[in-house]
Amino acid sequence: MKDYFTKKELMVILIVVLVIVTFISYKIIFYRFIQEPLKISQDLNMEDLTHEDLVSNLPNELDIDEGYEKEDEIIMVHISGQVHFPGIVQLQKGARVKDAVELAGGLKKEADLDKINLAKKLQDEDKIYIPKMGEEVDLPLEDYGNSSGSSGKININSCSKEELMSLPGIGEVTATRILEYRKSYKFKSIEDIMNVSGIGEKKFEAIKDLITVN
């Protein structure tokens, strides 16, 4: 042994061997006494979990379904007439006319409160019309505050300029012509609206399902 290695070299070799043996022993001890029991413990804990515990630890994928439910609780209605900010408003399902009025800026002084059912429940796509005092609107009293009656169509014999302008292709000029026409001639059928200058067959086709004379 003295012929091949010096005393210093033997010490180095011995230290290296000792380090290797120590490392291998550590790995064996760690796995047998620490890692393996930990894994068994984790498996046991998983078995103890209830269905509720597992569900609570899932990602918030169910939030998507909740979002759809919340979307179903929103309705959109169109309000016009004697309010400060006529237009489309978003409301919670089950809202009433008074809620839509508040979102539209409240009633104007000219609003006829005796012809408005503020307690009426609204549905999605409802059209609300608030009449002016002294304005003649051919609707049953219970239908005031719910646009143009149960059909949801605009009554061209009684609607306002704003309601007419909500129809496709009807601007302020054409709406004014319709109002002037009905002062002299009552619309007996929806086809009579084509007697108004600026409304031809093409424009009539676009609005015929949205208007009524009753």
Asked whether the whole model's pTM tops 0.75, one would answer no
- Residue-number span of the structural domain to which 52 is assigned: 7-58
Q: CA-based angle 185:187:191, to the nearest 5?
A: 125
- The CATH number for 188's domain is 1.10.150.320
Please indicate, yes or no, whether residues 76 and 137 belong to a single structural domain of this protein. Answer: yes
* Last-in-domain residue among 103, 129, 147: 147
Is 157 domain-assigned?
A: yes
Distance CA 202, CA 177 (A): 18
CB 145 within 8 A of CB 97: yes
Distance CA 113, CA 29 (A): 87
pLDDT tens readout for residues 95-124: 999 999 999 999 999 998 877 888 888 888
Is 2 domain-assigned?
A: no
Please indicate, yes or no, whether residues 11 and 26 belong to a single structural domain of this protein. Answer: yes
Please indicate, yes or no, whether residues 81 and 115 belong to a single structural domain of this protein. Answer: yes
Please indicate, yes or no, whether residues 76 and 142 belong to a single structural domain of this protein. Answer: yes
Is 120 domain-assigned?
A: yes
* Last-in-domain residue among 92, 114, 147: 147
Please indicate, yes or no, whether residues 113 and 163 belong to a single structural domain of this protein. Answer: no
Please indicate, yes or no, whether residues 143 and 160 belong to a single structural domain of this protein. Answer: no
Please indicate, yes or no, whether residues 137 and 190 belong to a single structural domain of this protein. Answer: no
Residues of the chain falling short of pLDDT 50:
1-2, 40-41, 43-49, 51, 54-55, 58-59, 61-69, 138-147, 149-150
Q: What's the chain look like in SS3?
A: CCCCCCHHHHHHHHHHHHHHHHHHHHHHHHHHHHHHHHHHHHHHHHHHCCHHHHHHCCCHHHHHHHHHHHHHCEEEEEEEECECCCEEEEEECCCEHHHHHHHCCCECCCECHHHCCCCCECCCCCEEEECECCCCCCCCHHHCCCCCCCCCCEECCCCCHHHHHCCCCCCHHHHHHHHHHHHHCCCCCHHHHHHCCCCCHHHHHHHHHHEECC
Is 1 domain-assigned?
A: no
Please indicate, yes or no, whether residues 128 and 79 belong to a single structural domain of this protein. Answer: yes
What's the pLDDT score for residue 54?
44
Is 24 domain-assigned?
A: yes
* Last-in-domain residue among 20, 36, 58: 58
Please indicate, yes or no, whether residues 133 and 166 belong to a single structural domain of this protein. Answer: no
Is 35 domain-assigned?
A: yes
* Residues in contact with 186: Cβ distance below 8 Å, sequence separation at least 6, in sequence order: 157
Is 64 domain-assigned?
A: no
Number of structural domains in the chain: 3
Please indicate, yes or no, whether residues 26 and 53 belong to a single structural domain of this protein. Answer: yes
- The CATH number for 105's domain is 3.10.20
CA distances from 214 to 9, 137, 189 (A): 113, 10, 9
Please indicate, yes or no, whether residues 143 and 92 belong to a single structural domain of this protein. Answer: yes
Is 67 domain-assigned?
A: no
